[in-house]
């Protein structure tokens, strides 16, 4: 006979959590990786609530988890603590039985004592399940992610294009190859046009020598201009970026007269440079473009296939800056989307507590400046279970 109990995380529960995590995602996570992400964050332990069924085998008794990673947010310079849903999961044996929703609903109310903002970021792999749960709790479907790329390798671009062509074209290999070649040439020509090929004095740093205190000062000066975004404190950046056990990160900094005016954080995976975050003093287009150009130059010199940046579709500031630096949004290349525009399902869901004092419209997506800094920080593979 099933006997269910639910409670907050207790010491040692990570063994049960990692067992369920492997069952759901197929990913093995070490104790050190779990400790970084959940027990020793920049703001202390994350919030984790668990449901157990003690009638099952001892190693398989955890059947549900609702969990939130603390994330600092700024609303036009005013600071709030957000809870990002991550690793929320139910045991495969209990899916579709209504158990999980009531577990999250119960502890969502408890979580409001700590957090003023809640958000969920999902990928396509999750098939909308996290969003459906959150909508029932009062979250709003807010936006979706878009991908901007600057291609450096003609061969890799051609192969990527071929993989995205409609199925009936891919079956005719000679035509698919010719079409991918033609489209690729157009993309590469577009990327090369109107580039200055001039990079000012921009410095590259590793995690050890990154000027985090200067970045925090730059952000503090500009936070109001960037509307709603992650609060780039030194403590958060050290935890999220520098202490991250999954990825190595690098920084580019642009200074004038020894004063930091802009920075960019990037990581590298599978021949791709991923832009994690970028900020320019006074939202300067010149500084944005200089940072992008320097990163592209690094990519060319070191033989990478592309530079990629993810952001929310309504983030007009960043998308405009990327477009002006000749990055391409895949969704705007109609032919690789099957000759028709795709309707993207929401991937970003937000709940804003009434305690958040905002003089401007926080439901206007153009007021949000979202980069990969808001994400979990794991490699760009695996299953989304937000």
DSSP E strands in 157-258: the ranges are 202-205, 228-230, 249-256
| 328 and 242 co-located in one domain | yes
Q: Is residue 351 part of a domain?
A: no
The answer as to whether 155 is a domain residue is yes
- pLDDT for the residue numbered 382: 47
Residue 383: the pLDDT is 45
Same domain, 331 and 186: yes
pLDDT of residue 359: 74
Q: Is residue 355 part of a domain?
A: no
- Write down which residue in 90, 114, 145 finishes a domain: 145
220 assigned to some structural domain: yes
Any domain includes 283? yes
As for how many domains the chain has, the answer is 2
Q: Residue 349 falls within a domain, yes or no?
A: no
Q: pLDDT means per 10 residues in the chain (386 residues)?
A: 86 96 93 96 98 93 97 96 96 88 96 96 64 91 92 80 71 70 67 59 95 98 97 98 96 95 96 97 97 96 95 96 92 57 79 86 94 88 55
| 152 shares its domain with 295 | yes
| Shared domain check, 217 and 166 | yes
Domain endpoint, select from 343, 363, 380: 343
Token output for 202 = 């921009």
Instruction: Give whole-number Cα distances, 251 to 42, 264, 291, 319, 332, in Å.
Output: 20, 6, 10, 21, 29
- Are 215 and 325 in the same domain? yes
pLDDT of residue 338: 53
Q: What confidence score (pLDDT) does residue 14 get?
A: 96
The pLDDT score that the predictor gives to residue 195 is 54
Q: Are 278 and 315 within one domain? A: yes
* DSSP code string of 4-60: EEEEE--TTTHHHHHHHHHHHH-----HHHHIIIIISBBTBSPEEEEEEETTS-GGG
195 and 118 in a common domain: no
Inside any domain, residue 370: no
Q: Do 133 and 159 lie in a common domain?
A: no
Q: Are residues 231 and 275 in the same domain?
A: yes
- Cβ partners under 8 Å of residue 379, min gap 6: 246, 247, 269
Same domain, 55 and 175: no
Q: What pLDDT score does 198 carry?
A: 56
Q: Which residue has the tokens 């593979």?
A: 381
**107 lies in the same domain as 156:** no
Residue 377 included in any domain: no
Domain that holds residue 56: 4-145
Can you read off the two tokens belonging to residue 301?
A: 């010199």
Burial letters for 101-121: b for 16+ Cβ neighbours within 10 Å, e otherwise? bebbeebbeebeeebbbbbbb
| Pairing mode, strands 272-280 and 140-143 | unpaired
Based on its alpha-carbon atoms, the radius of gyration of the chain, rounded to whole angstroms, reads 22
- Residue 182 shares a structural domain with residue 69: no
What CATH number did the domain enclosing 99 receive?
3.40.630.30
């Amino acid at each position: 006979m099933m006997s269910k109990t639910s409670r907050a995380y207790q010491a040692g529960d990570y063994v049960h959590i990692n067992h369920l995590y492997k069952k759901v995602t197929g990913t093995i996570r070490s104790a050190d990786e779990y400790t970084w992400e959940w027990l020793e964050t920049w703001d202390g332990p994350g919030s984790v609530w668990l449901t157990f069924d003690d009638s099952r085998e001892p190693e398989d008794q955890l059947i549900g988890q609702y969990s939130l990673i603390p994330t600092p947010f700024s609303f036009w310079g005013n600071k709030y603590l957000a809870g990002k849903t991550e690793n929320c999961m139910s045991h495969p044996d209990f899916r579709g039985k209504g158990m999980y929703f009531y577990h999250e609903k119960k502890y969502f109310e408890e979580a409001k004592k700590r957090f003023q903002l809640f958000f969920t970021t999902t990928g396509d792999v999750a098939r909308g399940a996290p969003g459906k749960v959150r909508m029932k709790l009062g979250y709003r479907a807010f936006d979706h992610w878009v991908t901007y790329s600057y291609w450096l390798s003609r061969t890799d671009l051609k192969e990527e294009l071929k993989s995205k062509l409609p199925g009936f074209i891919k079956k005719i290999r000679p035509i698919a190859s010719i079409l991918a070649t033609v489209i690729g040439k157009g993309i590469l020509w577009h990327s090369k046009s109107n580039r200055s090929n001039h990079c000012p004095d921009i410095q590259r740093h590793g995690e050890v020598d990154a000027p985090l205190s200067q970045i925090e000062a730059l952000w503090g000066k500009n936070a109001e201009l960037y509307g709603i975004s992650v609060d780039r404190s030194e403590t958060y950046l050290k935890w999220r970026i520098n202490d991250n056990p999954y990825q190595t990160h690098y920084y580019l900094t642009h200074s004038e007269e020894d004063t930091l005016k802009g920075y960019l954080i990037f990581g590298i995976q599978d021949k791709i440079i991923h832009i994690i975050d970028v900020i320019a003093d006074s939202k300067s287009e010149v500084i944005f473009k200089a940072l992008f150009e320097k990163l592209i130059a690094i990519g060319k010199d070191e033989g990478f296939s592309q530079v990629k940046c993810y952001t929310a579709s309504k983030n007009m500031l960043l998308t405009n800056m990327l477009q002006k630096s000749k990055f391409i949004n895949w969704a705007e290349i109609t032919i690789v989307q099957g000759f028709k525009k795709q309707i993207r399902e929401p991937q970003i869901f937000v709940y804003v507590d009434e305690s958040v004092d905002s003089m401007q419209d926080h439901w206007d997506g153009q007021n949000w400046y979202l980069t990969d800094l808001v994400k979990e920080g794991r490699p760009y593979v695996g299953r989304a279970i937000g």
